[in-house]
Structure formats: structure tokens, C-alpha cells
Amino acid sequence: MRGIIWFKKDLRTHDNPALFYADQQCSDGVIAVYIIDPFMWKKNNVAAIQIEFILRGLEALKKDLAKIQIPLVIIHAKNTADIPQALYILATQVKADKLFFNQELEINEAHRDTVVNQFFAKQNISTETFHDQLILPYNAVQTKAGMYFKVFSAFKREWLKVFNPIQLLPPPRAYARPNIILSSDIPKTLPNIDSKINPQLWPAGEKIAHKRLHQFIEEDLFSYDKLRDFPTLTATSQLSPYLAVGMISARTCFNVALEANAFELDTGNKGALTWMTELIWREFYRSILIAVPRICMDKAYKLATEKLPWRYDKHLLQKWQQGNTGFPIIDAAMRQLNTTGWMHNRLRMIVAMFLSKNLFLDWRLGETYFATHLIDYDFASNNGGWQWSASTGTDAVPYFRIFNPTTQSERFDPEGQFIRQYCPELTGFDRHSIHAPHQRLPLLAAQANYPKPIIDYVKSRQQALAAFKKLS
Ligand SMILES: Cc1cc2nc3c(=O)[nH]c(=O)nc-3n(C[C@H](O)[C@H](O)[C@H](O)COP(=O)(O)OP(=O)(O)OC[C@H]3O[C@@H](n4cnc5c(N)ncnc54)[C@H](O)[C@@H]3O)c2cc1C
């Protein structure tokens, strides 16, 4: 049998179920294909930096596949709807008997995949799809009544109960496969895609991802619980870009951490347990995506919050986007996003709450800005994080959880080091005044040309609380 493996958000050879089983079943050779689909990217607001990262990842994947004699074909889709036909043309060209691919869970992607399956069934070519994006299959973690978990703590408890030791799948072995001569160039750039962010910040490919994982495990895993909230330290793994496009599997990450914790799931080192919990958060948000598909259609998880009178003030939004709000921790965070394509988790929560609770802008405006700027953009985690922060989502704490940016800044950037890195105009401020320059050293703040706060924090907080209270 000869097979096609269709790569999507799984740009790797290790622990890739579709590739593994294609190789196992197809003694007459395997052809890999990736479909460049700018229409899907546009529909999903995917950031240029992530698209460029994918293109660089494809170069690395092509080299890895060449070593095991699997050619990688690139198809440029004219439209998402043309994908079934394009795959079918390839299948007939290479005389393939079967198409293999990993399942995607987001609504547009899942629909596309269903159409491919149906199209191939009509042409009498078989397809086989695999569970891949999660550590545990999404329907493995359910309440006794067969429902989804609404609260993370209960989800995690059940997740740990049903967890089974992970069997990682090896990459295909190198052996003399039938020589299928096919070749495609991987574009270095695409029309209208230009992120302006230095690609050297994010080297692509699964080798880099594995190296990053092992370095993190050796150097930072055991102190993760204590240091992960300090943005000036590189104390988190920064694996999110690699996980988002599948240059490494979540199973691999979890397994390596579990091994470092002597295979203890809920006892042992606190750092390891906390990091594994973050990977379970990733699973939780995906389970919500499947159980509550309206969140893929721009709707709030808590429908009642659709009645909140969100603001749509372009001027305020722009100040937030550019990092000119007059709140140093917000500005440093937004400038980190704009110049590196990534933002520290603590800061994501602070800026998201500031946008939704203090500026009282519709959280979807922030969600879209993140999507179009993050290298690690991932619909479920981004939407989950935004709705959690805006209290329209799964946060078990009611709407009165509102982070004060100044106290958060004092707590998590006590020396102001992170602020100084991204707001150089504040370099001359001491560790106390740097968190609120206009209140604490107004003259120096004016001289430094640092913007005044665009909002009165106390008043805006009261207004948000009143708006939420009215709902309930
Ligand atoms: C408003 C908001 C938007 C977010 N948008 C995204 C996004 O688009 N893509 C994305 O991958 N993450 C997103 N997150 C989650 C989190 O901020 C990032 O996953 C994390 O900062 C990535 O850095 P890291 O790889 O160093 O994480 P680590 O701390 O090393 O964690 C390891 C991995 O666990 C997962 N993870 C960690 N925290 C979370 C979380 N809170 N929710 C879900 N998964 C988590 C990620 O895959 C991460 O790579 C968002 C969070 C918020 C509050």
C-alpha cells in the first residue's frame, strides 16, 4: 500500500500518530503533503509571525523527512473548499491508496477535515484519522453524567484519574523505501505576510523544540512553581510556539516532566507538578472548545455576559495595542508582544483584565489583537485565557477578580527590570516610582515623555463591578 500523510498543526516526525501509522501500513512508500491555505489563516486571524514560523518549520521538516525518504509536497490552496480536490489530485498522481492525518478540533478545521473524509469516501480512497492534539483523547475526561467539566479543578481531578502511562511513538526508521521522486520548494515568504519580527528569536523545527524542552527540564522545571510569575526571568519553557504548530507533542512534554518527577502524578516536586498542571489547562480549554462550540463563533462562554455594555473606543484600544496606556507594566507587556511575538503568561492575564475590566473594551478586540500578533496563537488557549480574564468564561471566581496593574507590577517586577527593558524612557526611575511614574514622580514622568494614565483605575474598577453586578 502507498499512503499520503497530510501534515497540518503537527510539523514533526516524533510522536506523530498519522505519520507513524502511515509508515507502518505503507510498504510501497509514503508521500507527505502540506497545504498552504491563506484563506483559513485569514479567517482565523493567524499572525504573520506564526505563518513565517510554520514556513521555517516546513524547511526543517522537509530535511527530516528526506532522511527517511519521504518527499514533502507543498500545495498552495486556491480556497479552503478546494482542499479535498487538491488532495485527491495528488493521490491519483502518486497512485496512493490511503490518506492519513491527525484530527484538528477547531470548528472550521474540523469541518474541512470532515469534507475531505467524505470526498475521499466517494472516490473509494480510504482515509484514517488520529487523535493527536491532546494528551488524553478529548472525550476521555467527562463527568459521571457524560457531560463536560465546567470548572478546571474538577476537570484536573478526573484527568489525573483517567491518565494512563504515555506510549510515545517513534519517528519512522530510515530504510530503503521505494524512491518516489517529487519535490516542492517551500516559499520563504508569502504575499501580504511580513511580521517584521526577527526570526532568530524563534528558530523553528522539532530539534529546537526538543532541545528547549530538555534545557527547561534540566534548568527550570524544579523552580517553576516559585519563579514562573516573574516576567524578567526566563523561568517558563517558552515552548508554546512549538506546541501551537505541533513541532513537539504535548504528550512528549508531559512525559518528560513526569519522568523528571519519578513518574509521580500528584506528589513529588512542586515545580514539576505545577508545570504539568499548565499542560492540563491546555487540555481543559480544548475540552471547552469541543463542548461549547459557540465560543468558536465569537460568542461568550457565559451567554448572560453578552448583555454587558462593552465599549468600542478606537482611541483607547490603540493606546493599549501600542503600549501607551501610562501603566508601565501594561505598556512593557504590550511592547514585548509587539517586538517579540510572545508575552509572558502573568502579563497576558494583567493586560487582558485591564482591557476588559478597566478600559471596559469588548474582550474580543483583545482576543483578535493577540491572535494577529502571537507566534504561539492557539484558538482554544487564547479564547480560554481571554474569557477567563474578562469573567465571561470558565473562571470559578466571580467577576470581582480584577488585577490592579500597579500592585501586580510591584509584586512580579519588584525592581522594575522588565519595565525598563521594554520602556527605556523609564530607565531613570527608581524601584518604587517606576510602577506609577505620574503619581509618584510627575515631573520626571513628564520630562521622560511617558504618557499619563489613560484611565482612572479606581473609578474604572467600580464601573466594571457595577456593570457585572447589574447582570446578576
Ligand atoms: C489572555 C490570554 C491569552 C492566551 N493566549 C494563548 C495562545 O494564544 N496560545 C497559547 O499557547 N497560550 C495562550 N495563553 C496561555 C499562556 O499564557 C501561554 O501558554 C504561556 O504563556 C506560554 O508560555 P510558555 O510556553 O513559557 O508556558 P509554560 O509556563 O512553560 O507552560 C507550558 C505549556 O503549557 C501550556 N499552558 C501554560 N499556561 C497555559 C494556560 N493558562 N492555558 C492554556 N495552556 C497553557 C502552553 O502550551 C505552554 O507552552 C493565553 C493566556 C491568556 C491569559
CA distance 456 to 468: 18
Q: Which of 381, 388, 403 to mutate to test the pocket of ligand 1 (most atoms within 8 A of CB)?
A: 381
Q: How confident is the model at residue 174 (pLDDT cuts 50, 70, 90)?
A: confident
Amino acid 395: pLDDT: 82
Q: Is the pLDDT of residue 399 over 90?
A: no
- Angle CA 222–418–52, to nearest 5: 80
Amino acid 397: pLDDT: 80
Amino acid 472: pLDDT: 79
CA of 233 to the centre of ligand 1 (A): 16
CA of 392 to the centre of ligand 1 (A): 19
- Catalytic residue numbers? 278, 281, 310, 345, 363, 386
Q: How confident is the model at residue 184 (pLDDT cuts 50, 70, 90)?
A: confident
Amino acid 325: pLDDT: 98
What are the E-state strand segments in 177-289?
none
Other CB atoms within 10 A of residue 145 CB? 5
pLDDT tens-digit map of 296-325: 999 999 999 999 999 999 999 999 999 999
Amino acid 172: pLDDT: 93
For residue 241, which atom of ligand 1 is closest to its CA?
11
The domains of the chain, with CATH numbers, are: 3-132 (3.40.50.620), 133-166+207-291 (1.25.40.80), 303-471 (1.10.579.10)
Amino acid 326: pLDDT: 98
Amino acid 175: pLDDT: 74
Q: Is the pLDDT of residue 157 over 90?
A: yes
Put simply, whether the predicted model's pTM sits higher than 0.95 gets the answer: yes
Amino acid 376: pLDDT: 98
For the chain, the residue count is 472
Ligand 1-lining residues (CB < 6 angstroms): 228, 236-240, 243-244, 278-279, 281-282, 285, 345, 348-349, 352, 370, 374, 376-378, 381-382, 385-386, 389
For residue 244, which atom of ligand 1 is closest to its CA?
11
Percent pLDDT > 90 in the chain is 94
Q: Which of 282, 351, 389 to mutate to test the pocket of ligand 1 (most atoms within 8 A of CB)?
A: 282
Q: Is the pLDDT of residue 156 over 90?
A: yes
Other CB atoms within 10 A of residue 311 CB? 12
pLDDT tens-digit map of 50-107: 999 999 999 999 999 999 999 999 999 989 999 999 999 999 999 999 999 999 999 9
pLDDT tens-digit map of 187-211: 999 999 999 999 999 999 999 999 9
CA of 344 to the centre of ligand 1 (A): 8
Amino acid 128: pLDDT: 98
Q: Is the pLDDT of residue 180 over 80?
A: no
For residue 352, which atom of ligand 1 is closest to its CA?
1
Q: Is the pLDDT of residue 181 over 80?
A: no
Report which of 335, 301, 298 is spatially closest to residue 451, judged by C-alpha positions: 335
Average pLDDT over residues 169-197: 86
CA of 374 to the centre of ligand 1 (A): 11
pLDDT tens-digit map of 429-439: 999 999 999 99
Residue nearest ligand 1's atom 38 by CA: 278
- Angle CA 211–216–220, to nearest 5: 160
CA of 263 to the centre of ligand 1 (A): 23
CA distance 357 to 274: 28
Average pLDDT over residues 222-234: 97
Average pLDDT over residues 251-272: 97
For residue 344, which atom of ligand 1 is closest to its CA?
21
In single-letter form, the type of residue at position 336 comes to: Q
Average pLDDT over residues 398-409: 91
Residue nearest ligand 1's atom 18 by CA: 345
Indicate the range of 102-106, 171-175, 267-271 predicted with least confidence: 171-175
Residue nearest ligand 1's atom 20 by CA: 345
For residue 388, which atom of ligand 1 is closest to its CA?
53
Amino acid 264: pLDDT: 95
Amino acid 183: pLDDT: 74
CA of 345 to the centre of ligand 1 (A): 6
Which residues, 6+ apart, have CB-to-CB distance to 273 below 8 Å? 225, 261, 266, 267
Amino acid 173: pLDDT: 86
Q: Is the pLDDT of residue 380 over 80?
A: yes
Residue nearest ligand 1's atom 12 by CA: 381
Q: Is the pLDDT of residue 327 over 80?
A: yes
Percent pLDDT > 70 in the chain is 100
CA distance 222 to 242: 21
What does pLDDT average to over the chain?
96
